[in-house]
Structure 1
Amino acid sequence: MGRPTAEQSAAVAVSVVLPAYNEANTIEDTVETTLQTLSSFLPAGTFEVIVAEDGCDDRTPELAEQMAADDSRIRHFHSDDRLGRGGALEHAFAAADGDTLVYFDTDLATDMDHLEELVERVRSGEYDVATGSRWMPGNVADRPAKRGVPSRGYNLLVRTFLDSSLRDHQCGFKAFSREVFEDLREDVEDNHWFWDTEMLVRAQRAGYRVDEFPVRWTPKGDTKVDLVRDVFGMGSQILRTWWQLMVRPRITRRVTLVAGGVLTILALLLMTQYINFEQVLEKMGNADPVLVGVATLIYALSWPLRGLRYRDILSELGFHEKASFLTGAVFISQTGNLVFPARLGDFIRAYVVKARRGIPYASGFASLAAERVFDLLTITALAGIVLIGYTATGQTAELAQTVVGAKGAEQVAVLVAIVVALAAIVAVVTIVASARSDSNIAGSLVRRASSDSYAEFVAGIVERFVGDLQSVAGTRRGFVRISVSSLAIWTLDVVTAMLVLAAFEPGLATVELVSVSFFAVSVGNLAKVLPLSPGGVGLYEGAFTLLVIGLTPVGYQVAIGAAILDHAVKNIVTVIGGYGSMIGLNVSLTTAVEESREVREAREEAAELD
């Protein structure tokens, strides 16, 4: 690596960084052109050119090292691993000597006659950040549609969501003052194509003077941006930055409490769209209120068990939290699942444990996935055991005839349950097998699809996610404890339904009541796993009703009434517990959250290092 003398370093005012990935065919000409252009307006010894070579697998490292050895104005930074464009720029800027930090793309698509204009805007102190623009009025670059259309769309999204005043955020021709870079570098999270966009957006929000000026730009060669993978990745970064800058600062204690109230009201309103409350009240009028009350109490008792199970799951992942807090987090997420389709309430839980306890999102989602796997394993096993009993007593043919002869929602619900049960078995077998393997197949598949830094970032998340799942399912102690608590939770769920059904006085023998309750509840819950409706309302009732009618002499009105009342009791307990948890967590944990911020940040930094 070429390194200037101490005297030269002290005099360097401008550092130009050239991010290079497999540029063996052009890097020498690019560096030479850059040096000549800088020499035309800057005194000798006041500038340097840094080749930020980013894990190349061609001759770029060799050429850059030779140029650095031959010319003290040139420096070469090498990385064995792909850092991404943003990562390479940040690494080079941090080590650069100049107070004016410049970068542009090595293909020199932007006319180099603009370099003095770019540098002097920042070097003179007139602006803190300067960027070239291909989209300013009267100077629109002639770009192929396959690159121009996505670029316009991207910039429109950035302006709309992130309140940026710039027209072109991705032009590879920018300059920053040292002050801006040092002030914002820790806040910028992306290390790939979104890095400079995030710098521009954060600089504007921080009050720095940002200037955009038109440049002559000519497309050269094929872009290294993958229009599917990288555009999708940058879209997710826009959403992430929007959340951090626009939404999160507005989430105050008062806003959270109001949102919790609205969430609860919305849940109740949505329930009225799926449940005929007049019919529920009519059936409740005919049912034994004592048994319904006992059923409600028993179901409420299952929630502390859910908190204990979630505590054990997180404990296997290395996070030790109180069961009371985790019970509240489960309550809140399940209330969210009653409101939003596609089980979006699960994202709420991941956010709660991240925001309140610093548990990384990857571990939060892994713990949720582990919980779902144990749920599916338990209810599939319960359904299978009862099915074996029906087979032994010769009722299999009757059951099959019931399913085949059914029409509409009931048949769909049972068929969905069968598919989900088979998928659950495959998932459990796969996780157990993976836990005994030294390789991470998922991460390997991602790397085969792409080898750049963004793919490496995604592969790292996938590997951690799968690794956490393996940690939970792969230890005997964890597997046994979580399996036992899962069995207890779902047994209480079944007992709740059994008592509700008994409240309608169906005239069933105890063995028949127990067996049909276990089977109907298990299949009903398997049916509502697919997020076809908020809370699985409709699917659960359909499967439950069909099986009760097909396996017992109970009439249709009693069966559907029991199904509706059972699900309504469970949903009402969930909503009340969710609302109470929202209030409780916000009141009791606000101070603790602020005091533990440094601890959480330290945890996240440690997790990133892992």
Structure 2
Amino acid sequence: MTGVAGDPAVSVVLPAYNEEATLEDTVEATLSTLAEFLPDGDFEVMVAEDGCTDHTPQIADRLAARDERVRHVHSEERLGRGGALERAFEAADGDVLVYFDTDLATDMSHLEELVEAVRSGEYDLATGSRWMPGREADRPAKRGVPSRGFNLLVRGLLGSDVRDHQCGFKAISREAFSTLADDVEDDHWFWDTELLVRAQRQGLRVKEFPVAWEPKGDTKVDLVRDVLGMGSQLGRLWWQLSVRPRITPRVSFGAGLLLVAIAVALMSTYIDFGEVVREMRRADPRLLAVATVLYALSWPIRGYRYGDILHELGFHERLGFLTGAVFISQTGNLVLPARGGDAVRAYIVKMRRSIPYPSGFASLAAERVFDLLTLAGLSGVVLVGYAASGRLGEVIVAISGGHPAGRTAAFVAMGVGLVAIAAVLGLVFSARSDANRIRTLVSRVSSDSYGRVVADVLERFVGDLQRVGGDPAAFSRVGATSVVIWAIDVLVALLVLVALGVRLEPVTLIAVCFFAVSVGNLAKVLPISPGGIGLYEGAFTALVVGLTPIGVSTALGAAVLDHALKNVVTLVGGVVSMLALNVSLTTAVEETADMSETDALRE
């Protein structure tokens, strides 16, 4: 930081990224305009230079050396527009913090009104507006239409009273900025909007006034910045302010139970649950106990497989910790909507073992890919076996006929299986080519720095996946472990059927169990209900009934017992693991939700 200032009342910050062509004129215009209504020594102009790659830093240094009212706040790395503003505001001396875009698109005749609105103490925050009645900006359609659409979304979703959230012409008091700074999470283009919305939510006094504005230079809609970046931030803020405060753990659990209750109510229209309960009661408790122990033994194998995946990414952890992390994440998936437990595992390995979020999510993605590939492969092998034996028609009838719930689940499973196979093939071919084309693809739709940051994260994510899929030995090892894990899952279902007194030819029973368990687990991949309760039972029952002489009551009883037994083991293991690792599921969920997007991007 160069240049020296006195103790000014007003600090004007000019966010600058590669502004060598306009910066000097902008600084001179700002100084002369401020001098028209403020005493000398009552203001400073700060150039918030944000990791520029042109001659902007040198120009800013020269201006600061020439005029003590000018300061240069330099950043070696790209902080983003919001990040650069926050850094400069924290370093500023003034009680009134002002910023506007360096292209001076807003007429500088409005600067006094902007400053005095806050300096007078009448308002905490002031912003210019291009869309207020009587002074609407004459903007080209490619600028005006997206801007109006965005502002309508912000007003509708977030309840803002401001008409123009993105006008780069704002002032805020030091006290108000201190109040809001820790809450504003975005570091880039959405920063303005979040500042205004949070100010209104906290009851701060906001003034919006019309300004004369003229577009400078050319612009274009940037897909990553404007659609993915701004859109995701809008959704994130809406969730934080409007939805999450209403979703307590009790509400979340209740919603999951409600979904299950609805599914049960629909199923009860064509299933005699009294008969199902009677079937379940006559199950052999000794075989159920064996099935429970067998399923519990599969969890260290899951931990070993997860450790194998992390090992390929350069992280080495103990089996006990990894098994506990898997237990906790799967417990989260049972009680949280939308497979929220997966994000919890990424949080655990980050907080407990400093594994970066991109690598944590990549390891989870790799695990899911192997799971889906194994399940699709197992069901495919059985399907080929049925076709070779001339019984393919029975499979078609089982999937297309029968109960609506089972039919829906079976079709969902087929879709998930096809997607899984496509994803694995893409991963394998990508890994073999050693080419990561993410940056090229992102650059085709985005020239903004936000797009470059997104490309950095995606490159790391895809690169981590390629490291697992690109090593033949690791691929084979993880694949073999996955087969063992799901073979145990199938064996548990087989023991449950035998415990209910089912007597079939061993080959038929094994084939049906492999097919039913594989399709059932593929069906529950969609996060429709916590733990896939309902989808799994529907697919399992439809296939068992369609491919064997087993009745609906027995098949559904087996599906319910099989799923319940596995969920109980998961819950018990999850609770024990949370105690052993000192992890609170609710705290992990809250802190995972609080994790800002930029935290992940900075990893």
Q: Same fold (TM over 0.5)?
A: yes
Q: Distance in 2 between matches of 1:412 and 1:245?
A: 36
Q: Distance in 2 between matches of 1:412 and 1:264?
A: 20
Equivalent position SS for 1:374: helix
Aligned positions of 1:135-534 closer than 5 A: 135-206=131-202, 208-223=204-219, 226=222, 229-248=225-244, 255-274=248-267, 278-279=271-272, 281-282=274-275, 285=278, 289-291=282-284, 294-295=287-288, 298=291, 302=295, 305-306=298-299, 309=302, 313=306, 321=321, 323=323, 326-334=326-334, 336=336, 345-351=338-344, 354=347, 358=351, 362=358, 365-383=361-379, 390=385, 396=388, 398-400=390-392, 402=394, 408=400, 420-421=416-417, 423-425=419-421, 427-428=423-424, 430-431=426-427, 440-443=436-439, 445-469=441-465, 486-502=482-498, 508-526=504-522, 529=525
Change in CA separation of 1:580 and 1:502 when aligned onto 2, cut-off 3 Å: closer
Equivalent position SS for 1:212: strand
Displacement of 1:40 after TM fit?
A: 1.4
Q: Distance in 2 between matches of 1:436 and 1:544?
A: 40
Displacement of 1:458 after TM fit?
A: 1.9
Q: More deviation in 235-244 or 379-388?
A: 379-388
Which ranges of structure 2 fall in alignment gaps of 5 or more residues?
none
Q: What does residue 81 of structure 2 align with?
A: 85
Q: More deviation in 107-116 or 50-59?
A: 50-59
Change in CA separation of 1:140 and 1:471 when aligned onto 2, cut-off 3 Å: same
Q: Distance in 1 between matches of 2:203 and 2:237?
A: 17
Displacement of 1:346 after TM fit?
A: 1.6
Displacement of 1:115 after TM fit?
A: 0.3
Change in CA separation of 1:531 and 1:257 when aligned onto 2, cut-off 3 Å: closer
Q: Distance in 2 between matches of 1:597 and 1:416?
A: 31
Equivalent position SS for 1:290: coil
How many residues in Structure 1 have an aligned counterpart in Structure 2? 587
TM-score (norm 2): 0.77
Equivalent position SS for 1:398: coil
Q: Distance in 2 between matches of 1:547 and 1:348?
A: 30
Q: Distance in 2 between matches of 1:601 and 1:549?
A: 47
Aligned positions of 1:9-24 closer than 5 A: 9-24=5-20
Equivalent position SS for 1:119: helix
Change in CA separation of 1:491 and 1:397 when aligned onto 2, cut-off 3 Å: closer
Displacement of 1:453 after TM fit?
A: 2.4
Identify the match of residue 132 of structure 1 among 128, 151, 156. 128
Displacement of 1:194 after TM fit?
A: 0.9
Displacement of 1:193 after TM fit?
A: 1.0
Q: Distance in 1 between matches of 2:21 and 2:67?
A: 20
Q: Deviations over 1:282-332 (max 9, x none)?
A: 466568932598458726853674487258627657577474574254134
Change in CA separation of 1:280 and 1:514 when aligned onto 2, cut-off 3 Å: farther
Equivalent position SS for 2:6: helix
Change in CA separation of 1:265 and 1:296 when aligned onto 2, cut-off 3 Å: farther
TM-score (norm 1): 0.76
Q: Distance in 2 between matches of 1:468 and 1:56?
A: 30
Q: More deviation in 89-98 or 31-40?
A: 89-98
Equivalent position SS for 1:190: coil
Aligned residues of 2:325 and 2:345 also touching (Cα < 8 A): no
Superposed CA RMSD: 4.9
Q: What does residue 4 of structure 1 align with?
A: 3
Q: More deviation in 140-149 or 579-588?
A: 579-588
Q: More deviation in 127-136 or 224-233?
A: 224-233
Q: More deviation in 406-415 or 486-495?
A: 406-415
Aligned residues of 2:371 and 2:482 also touching (Cα < 8 A): yes
Q: Which amino acid aligns with 2:271?
A: E
Equivalent position SS for 1:278: coil
Change in CA separation of 1:357 and 1:239 when aligned onto 2, cut-off 3 Å: same
Equivalent position SS for 1:19: strand
Q: Distance in 1 between matches of 2:220 and 2:8?
A: 32
Change in CA separation of 1:286 and 1:243 when aligned onto 2, cut-off 3 Å: closer
Q: Deviations over 1:78-124 (max 9, x none)?
A: 55654332123233334444343211123323221110111223334
Aligned residues of 1:541 and 1:563 also touching (Cα < 8 A): no
Q: Distance in 2 between matches of 1:4 and 1:182?
A: 24
Q: Which amino acid aligns with 1:350?
A: A
Equivalent position SS for 2:99: strand
Displacement of 1:195 after TM fit?
A: 0.9
Q: Which amino acid aligns with 1:396?
A: A
Identify the match of residue 567 of structure 1 among 547, 559, 562. 559
Equivalent position SS for 2:44: strand
Aligned residues of 1:264 and 1:335 also touching (Cα < 8 A): no
Identical aligned pairs, as a percentage? 50
Aligned residues of 1:267 and 1:335 also touching (Cα < 8 A): no
Change in CA separation of 1:361 and 1:194 when aligned onto 2, cut-off 3 Å: same
Aligned residues of 2:359 and 2:464 also touching (Cα < 8 A): yes
Q: Distance in 2 between matches of 1:355 and 1:122?
A: 44
Q: Distance in 1 between matches of 2:595 and 2:525?
A: 36
Q: Distance in 1 between matches of 2:57 and 2:432?
A: 40
Aligned residues of 2:332 and 2:339 also touching (Cα < 8 A): no
Change in CA separation of 1:409 and 1:529 when aligned onto 2, cut-off 3 Å: farther
Aligned residues of 1:18 and 1:105 also touching (Cα < 8 A): yes
Aligned residues of 2:165 and 2:192 also touching (Cα < 8 A): yes
Identify the match of residue 101 of structure 1 among 97, 101, 111. 97
Q: Deviations over 1:331-377 (max 9, x none)?
A: 341455xxxxxxx5323542586499848764564344233222123
Q: What does residue 340 of structure 1 align with?
A: none
Which ranges of structure 1 fall in alignment gaps of 5 or more residues?
337-343
Change in CA separation of 1:59 and 1:156 when aligned onto 2, cut-off 3 Å: same
Equivalent position SS for 2:390: helix
Aligned residues of 1:409 and 1:542 also touching (Cα < 8 A): no
Q: Which amino acid aligns with 2:235?
A: L
Aligned residues of 1:358 and 1:601 also touching (Cα < 8 A): no
Q: Distance in 2 between matches of 1:396 and 1:412?
A: 26
Displacement of 1:270 after TM fit?
A: 1.9
Q: Which amino acid aligns with 2:171?
A: A
Q: Distance in 2 between matches of 1:473 and 1:383?
A: 22
Q: Distance in 2 between matches of 1:408 and 1:597?
A: 42
Aligned residues of 1:528 and 1:540 also touching (Cα < 8 A): no
Change in CA separation of 1:262 and 1:189 when aligned onto 2, cut-off 3 Å: closer
Q: Which amino acid aligns with 1:131?
A: T
Q: Distance in 1 between matches of 2:491 and 2:201?
A: 56
Aligned residues of 2:48 and 2:74 also touching (Cα < 8 A): yes
Equivalent position SS for 2:185: coil
Aligned residues of 2:135 and 2:211 also touching (Cα < 8 A): yes
Q: More deviation in 405-414 or 177-186?
A: 405-414
Q: Distance in 2 between matches of 1:597 and 1:489?
A: 31
